Structure 1
Amino acid sequence: MTGRTIARLAVTAAALAVGAAATFGSAIAEPAQSPLDTAIERLTATAGDDPAARAGVESTARAAHLITAAHLEQVAGGFAPFAYQAPTVGCGDTFFTLTAASGISGEAGSTRGIAGAPGTLTFQATPAVTGFPISSGLTVAWVNVNNGRAGIDPLDDLTDYHLPGLSKTVETGAGTIVATMWGTINYPTSLCVMTPTVGMFSVADEPLPSDPNAAPAQPVPSPSAAPGRPAPRSGTTDDKGAPGENGPVTPN
């Protein structure tokens, strides 16, 4: 076998090896992206170049991955605070305070209080400051680790007096939601800067709608009367006396 033949065989073997590797690689499908990863990508794109928003998204993503890794996607609870009260600076005379934040999952019915409709989550911030805020710069980044929904929303709800309510109701759908809240709250005499805080919340499944075509429930017959027989009277009677007056009737 000449050197030229050996070289030709080596080139052929190398080409076959490359082709086999390409075929084998194409046969192995890329792992499907989870709804959580897709949601985090959308959040990152929404945050854009805003440093605060990007930091909030990164914090939310880290917490969400920890939740799913620990298999804590189904944690019950209609009301839950964020994991810790957020250190806040610039509020009032004390300068350093804490802001409590919470999430309230939606409920069915007309007496649900401050909770929203089923499939929603209401975020709320409560600074340790007296007085009414005049504007809100608070933001919440959230992701549903079960269905992949996500968003970055301002807490721009207004009260009946058209003042900032420091709250926001979002349509998360059922599942476990991980969220990060941060931002500013403007008061007449001060501007509060709230550092980020992270929380985990559970939103229950929406109740099944009632069937309008379902037959109405039938009344249950009283067990005191058998079919075809009159109901027994109270006490014992005979043909002449009042109930129980002369005792039972003895046939002749």
Structure 2
Amino acid sequence: MNRRSRITISALSAVAAAVVFVGPASADPTPMPMPAPALSGLSIAALNATSAEMHKAADVLGPDAQSAINRLLATALPELGVTVPQPFFYPAPTLGCGIAGAPGTVTISTAQAGPNFPIPPWIERGDLRFQALPGYVGVPTASNLSVAWINLSTLKGSIDRLDDVVLGVPTMSKTVKSGQGTVLAALFGSVTYSSGASCFALPTVGSFNA
């Protein structure tokens, strides 16, 4: 194995160990810098040991193994980046629930593009994650919210339920394969809660950069 290949493997190993050290968010997806001071002496020693073992394995198995290891390291990590949620044009008027017994409230909705990694939510480039949050205090039990969207650049579109769950609890979110481009979307539907309340969000619309 030549010196350049050894340096490539060592550098990719360092990135894999340091992805949790990221800078502040920005509106556009940008690669995240990995400052050297973020790695402790122990981490550097561990990386060197791991890299050395990989060198030995590649030397034993030959150039085919070396090429396979390089390809694996190049594709093992998702694309690094940080994005911010993009709001719909206006909060959706919401009927049937409210704070302190009010008969109505609003639902705040956003869409977030990728790449967004390693800070959650993890979103790949070309995906768009829709999220809704009714102005009601309670534990949701079912989400019947939907989003209708179309990518004006590819003319691809769909109607999807915001039915993702975490530990059995609806998150009122959905990540769709929108592709890159300008995406128009409308969000509407209902959410039910353990209290028996049901919030119905009237449609809201938005335009997003995916």
TM-score category, normalised to shorter length: 0.5 to 0.7
When normalised by structure 2's length, the TM-score is 0.57
Aligned positions of 1:167-206 closer than 5 A = 167-188=173-194, 189-203=196-210
CA distance change for structure 1 residues 195 and 138 in 2, over 3 Å: closer, same or farther? Answer: same
Q: Which amino acid aligns with 2:90?
A: Y
**Runs of 5+ consecutive residues of structure 1 not aligned to the other structure:** 1-76, 204-252
Matched, 1:126 2:125: no
Residue equivalent to 1:149: 156
Looking at CA atoms only, which structure, 1 or 2, has the larger radius of gyration?
A: 1
Q: Which amino acid aligns with 2:107?
A: T
Residue equivalent to 2:109: 101
- The structural deviation recorded for 1:127 is 0.8
- The structural deviation recorded for 1:147 is 0.8
8 Å contact kept, 1:135–1:164: yes
8 Å contact kept, 1:78–1:202: no
Matched, 1:88 2:94: yes
Deviations 1:18-38 (A, max 9, x none): xxxxxxxxxxxxxxxxxxxxx
Matched, 1:162 2:163: no
Higher helix fraction (1 or 2): 2
Matched, 1:79 2:85: yes
When normalised by structure 1's length, the TM-score is 0.48
Q: Percent of aligned positions with the same letter in both sequences?
A: 38
Q: Distance in 1 between matches of 2:168 and 2:139?
A: 11
8 Å contact kept, 1:87–1:195: yes
Other structure's SS at 1:135 match:
strand
Higher strand fraction (1 or 2): 2
8 Å contact kept, 1:175–1:202: yes
Q: Which amino acid aligns with 2:92?
A: A
* Number of residue equivalences: 125
Residue equivalent to 2:28: none
- The structural deviation recorded for 1:113 is 1.8
Task: Supply the RMSD in Å over aligned alpha carbons.
Answer: 1.3
Q: Distance in 2 between matches of 1:116 and 1:154?
A: 18
